Chain A
Amino acid sequence: MVSYSLSGNIRTDAKGTQALLDFYLYAKNYKNCWFNLNIENLFWFDANLSALLLRYCHLLKSENKLNFYIDYKSLKGHLNVLNRNGLAYHIVQNKDYFKPYDNKDTTIPVKAFRLESVDTFTEYIESTLLKHQGLDGVIYDDKDRIKTSYFEIFDNVGQHGRTTYPIIACGQYFPNECEVKFTFVDSGCGFLTNISEFTKEKENINKASTAISWAVKGNSTKKNEKGGTGLSKILSYCMKNGGALHIASDDCYWAFANKSINTFNIKSNLSGATIHLIFRFLKKD
Chain B
Amino acid sequence: MPGVVINITNVIGTPNAIIKKFGEELYLTAIPYIRNNTPITLDFSDIKNLTSGFCNASIGKLFLDFPQTADQLISFSHLDENSLWKEKVEDAIYLAKNPEASKMYDSAIASLFAEG
Q: Which residues of A contact B (CB under 8 A)?
A: 118-119, 122, 126, 141, 144, 147-148, 151-152, 154-156, 158-159, 213, 216-218, 220, 224-227, 232, 235-236, 239, 256, 259-261
Contacts and interface: CB of A to CB of B under 8 A. Distances in A.
A224 B53 contact: no
Interface string B35-76: 000000000000011111100100010001000000000000
Given A148-B49, A225-B60, A260-B116, 8 more contacts: A126-B49, A147-B49, A152-B51, A152-B52, A155-B18, A224-B64, A226-B101, A227-B52
Interface string B9-37: 00000101011111000000000000000
B6 to A, nearest CB: 20
Interface of B: 14, 16, 18-22, 48-53, 56, 60, 64, 84, 91, 95-96, 99, 101-102, 104-106, 108-110, 112-113, 116
Contacts of B110: 217
A213 B20 contact: no
B12 to A, nearest CB: 9
Given A118-B14, A118-B19, A155-B20, A226 B109 contact: no
B113 A213 contact: yes
A226 B104 contact: yes
Contact of B49 (A151, A218, A235): A151
Contact of A224 (B48, B51, B95, B113): B95
A19 B2 CA distance: 59
Given A218-B106, A225-B102, A239-B108, A159 B14 contact: no
B56 A225 contact: yes
B51 A155 contact: yes
A218 B105 CA distance: 6
Contacts of A260: 116
A52 B85 CA distance: 33
A259 B108 CA distance: 11
A122 B48 CA distance: 10
Contacts of A155: 18-20, 51, 53
A119 B14 CA distance: 8
Contacts of A119: 14, 16
A225 B116 contact: no
A118 B52 CA distance: 16
B109 A236 contact: yes
Contacts of B102: 220, 224-226
Nearest to B105: A218
A223 B106 CA distance: 18
B116 A261 contact: yes
Contacts of A158: 19, 21
B58 to A, nearest CB: 12
Nearest to B21: A158
Given A218-B109, A224-B56, A226-B101, A154 B19 contact: yes
A261 B112 contact: yes
Contact of A225 (B53, B106, B113): B53
A112 B14 CA distance: 20
A261 B113 CA distance: 9
Contacts of B56: 224-226
A42 B64 CA distance: 56
Contacts of A217: 105, 109-110, 113
B11 to A, nearest CB: 14
Contacts of B108: 236, 239
Contacts of A156: 53
B20 A159 contact: yes
Nearest to A233: B106
A260 B111 CA distance: 11
B53 to A, nearest CB: 5
